[in-house]
Amino acid sequence: MAVADFETRIAELEVAQRRAEQIARVNAALSSATNEQGILSAVATLAEQHGVMGSALAFSEMDADGVVTGAKVVAMQMQGQPVNPQDVLPTTDYPLDDNPILRLALENPDEPLFVENMFTDPRTADGITREVFRHTGMTATIIMWLQSAGRVQGVMTFNWADEQPFNEEIRTVFKAIQPVAAAVVANRRSLLELERTVAERTAALRDSEKRLIEAQRVGGIGIWELDVQTFDLYWSDTMFTVAGRDPARGAPVGGSYMDIVHPDDRDYVNQTMLEAAESGQPFRVEYRVITDDGAVRYVATTGYAATDEATRRMRFIGTMQDVSARKQADIERERLAAIANSSLDCIGIADLEGRLLYMNPAGLEMVGYFHQEEIIGTSYTEFTDPESARLLREVGIPTAMERGYWRGESRLQHRDGRSFPVEQALFPIRDAQGNINALATIITDISERKQAEAERDRLQQQVIEAQRQALAELSTPIIPIMDRIIVMPIVGSIDTGRARDIMRSLLSGISQYRAQIAILDITGVPIVDSGVADHLNRTIQAARLKGAQTIITGVSDAVAETVVDLGIDWTGFETLRDLQTGLIIALDRIGIRLTQRPNNGEKRA
């Protein structure tokens, strides 16, 4: 190798190493990014090396059909420094209809769009784009849509004040970083959505707790007493608050004491009190009451029946407490439990030591168990194969604890020892103070999907093989003309592989049709050189060993001239101008002569 070539090779290797180091640094920064600004900063370092003025990250906005309608800016940098988008932008929402340059880049979301000069590039001649960039003082831009799993998650833009000659190195590095950034943004958006859902649920539960505490503080516990014979009813002051009744109206009078009870619960309350009177035992009943404003409220009443020894008159004495908040929380928990119990996916909860606290019926069925008691307290490693247990221990759990979410593929292990592929998500459960006290998981069995993918690959290979065989048959057809004569028309160029197919097909045809004469028609062969002549020579020799004579037809003027110019020796071949002549010669050799039939009205001589 010459010194100059060696130095060129060394320079190329140095460029490749520099690109790899840049990509590795950006990948590492993306992996450690914990927010939108961190994601943007990780990629913006590539552009900062070339004097970028401004960078931005925006999340895509979509309609109900999943079509991108715009983007919302969530992070910005100006001259390498993070800035709040709301402080420097008139709006953070950018509809796609108003941004031709974003639409242009979205036409191929898997490739970054490089515009070296906005005012000379013909792709930006719409006028709107150039006016926007003229207003902002920018000239060059890189727009990189972030698409992951077929869904556009967001877009990054990098703008320069001056024209930029984007060389091959920066184009290659940005293209390599694009899918990594897309995956990180997709995970970030999934995490934000999960955090929003958890926050809404947490806020709802805390609101319920606040309402319960407020009801206890304001209304407390009401005390009531009812004379069974006269229906005289006594209410303490707090009873009015608990029952939602205006104190100015006073307590219900006479038999109307049941009027505050919801109509659907009156028989139940009456029956409970009668049973308590007969048994002499205390009672506790929860039911609904209707407040003065028509609202429904859940209350809990505890009481007992007592008989005055002097008058022998029975009365009920009890308390009433508003339990609407607790009841609503119970309903919410029951609803969540119903969702978990009816889910086809495995839903499990484990403590921070990896011991199972809960697994829904679908999860129990996946691993071959029937009752919660069989798995509570066991380690999650008993339900995963060793490699998956290592993945969860070293990657899944630490990632979920640090970033709030982890998703990946692993393998679940059945009680009988077999394992199967699953898609698994992990996320932490926090208490009211924000401390992590457990880990939850959602697991989907993807065995059928994997089998379908394998079957699809197998069928695809079968189709490819069938197509290959069909093409091979079409490229080397055998045409039996009549008894003992076959024709093989050859079309297209002949290489070593196809020459073998021609030979095999011809020998097979000789055997199948017991041919004595084989005609090779090369009318459709565009080039005849020494290699083609050698292939034909071998084929003719093989046919002779099978007892068949070979005739080459279709030798055009151009082919004849090429053979002569190249000095190819075809003296050992029988060559003819066209197929018709070849057929006449072949028929003659097997003893069949063709004569011309006379025209109508003419006599044969």
Residue range 447-492, pLDDT digits in tens: 888 888 888 888 878 766 665 565 555 556 888 888 889 998 888 7
Of the two residues 194 and 406, the one the predictor is more confident about is 406
Same domain, 403 and 498: no
**Residue bearing tokens 């699953």:** 422
Instruction: Give me the number of domains the chain comprises.
Output: 4
pLDDT digits (tens, 9 = 90+) for 73-94: 999 998 888 999 888 888 888 8
Q: What is the CATH number of the domain that holds 569?
A: 3.30.750.24
Long-range pairs for 532-541: beta carbons < 8 A, 24 or more residues apart: 532/494, 533/563, 533/568, 533/569, 533/570, 535/494, 535/496, 535/499, 535/502, 536/573, 537/572, 537/573, 538/499, 538/503, 539/499, 539/502, 539/503, 539/506, 540/573
Same domain, 304 and 351: no
- pTM for this predicted structure: 0.38
Q: Say what the pLDDT of residue 531 is.
A: 79
For residues 364, 367, 368, 372, the Cα torsion angle rounded to the nearest 10 degrees is: -30
Residue pair 521/553 in contact by the 8 Å Cβ criterion: yes
Q: Say what the pLDDT of residue 202 is.
A: 54
Look at residue 200 and tell me if it is in a domain.
no
Look at residue 207 and tell me if it is in a domain.
no
Same domain, 445 and 487: no
- The 3-state DSSP class for residue 58 equals strand
Q: Which of 411, 428, 407, 429 is nearest to 420 (CA)?
A: 411
Q: Say what the pLDDT of residue 149 is.
A: 77
Q: Say what the pLDDT of residue 145 is.
A: 92
Same domain, 36 and 184: yes
Q: What is the CATH number of the domain that holds 132?
A: 3.30.450.40
Cα 262 off chain centre by = 50
Same domain, 354 and 321: no
Look at residue 42 and tell me if it is in a domain.
yes
Same domain, 314 and 432: no
Q: Say what the pLDDT of residue 255 is.
A: 62
Look at residue 148 and tell me if it is in a domain.
yes
Same domain, 498 and 400: no
Domain termination residue (choose one: 178, 193, 208) = 193
Same domain, 415 and 534: no
pLDDT digits (tens, 9 = 90+) for 167-180: 888 888 888 888 88
* CA–CA–CA angle 487, 491, 492 (5° rounding): 150
CA–CA distance from 535 to each of 386, 472, 493, 553, 604 (Å)? Answer: 58, 17, 12, 15, 46
Of the two residues 467 and 216, the one the predictor is more confident about is 467
Q: Which distant-in-sequence residues (6+ apart) come within 8 Å of 165 by Cβ? A: 116
CA distance 48 to 265: 71
**Structure confidence at residue 142 as a pLDDT band (50, 70, 90):** very high
Q: Which distant-in-sequence residues (6+ apart) come within 8 Å of 113 by Cβ? A: 101, 104, 105, 141, 142, 143, 144
Q: Say what the pLDDT of residue 576 is.
A: 86
Residue pair 357/340 in contact by the 8 Å Cβ criterion: no
Task: Output phi, psi for 187, to 5 deg.
Answer: -65, -40
Rounded to the nearest integer, the mean pLDDT of the chain is 82
The amino acid at 554: G
Residue pair 85/72 in contact by the 8 Å Cβ criterion: no
Domain termination residue (choose one: 193, 228, 251) = 193
Q: Say what the pLDDT of residue 215 is.
A: 44
CA distance 257 to 226: 9
User: Would you state the structure tokens that stand for residue 204, as one six-digit string?
Assistant: 């709802």
Q: Say what the pLDDT of residue 252 is.
A: 81
Instruction: Report, as an integer, the average pLDDT of 334-348.
Output: 79
Residue pair 59/51 in contact by the 8 Å Cβ criterion: no
Highest mean pLDDT among 5-9, 146-150, 326-330: 146-150
**Structure confidence at residue 113 as a pLDDT band (50, 70, 90):** very high
Q: What is the CATH number of the domain that holds 228?
A: 3.30.450.20
Task: Output phi, psi for 112, to 5 deg.
Answer: -65, 150
The amino acid at 3: V
Same domain, 44 and 92: yes
Q: Say what the pLDDT of residue 7 is.
A: 64
* CA–CA–CA angle 184, 175, 167 (5° rounding): 140
In the predicted structure, residue 381 carries a pLDDT above the cut 60: yes
Instruction: Report, as an integer, the average pLDDT of 360-373.
Output: 86
Q: Write out the H or E segment, with its range, that includes residue 489.
A: strand 485-491
Which DSSP letter does residue 261 get? B
Assign residue 244 a region (left: φ > 0; alpha: ψ between -120 and 50; beta: otherwise). left
Q: Say what the pLDDT of residue 504 is.
A: 87
**Structure confidence at residue 527 as a pLDDT band (50, 70, 90):** confident
Residue 61's domain comprises 25-193
Q: Say what the pLDDT of residue 101 is.
A: 87
**Structure confidence at residue 331 as a pLDDT band (50, 70, 90):** confident
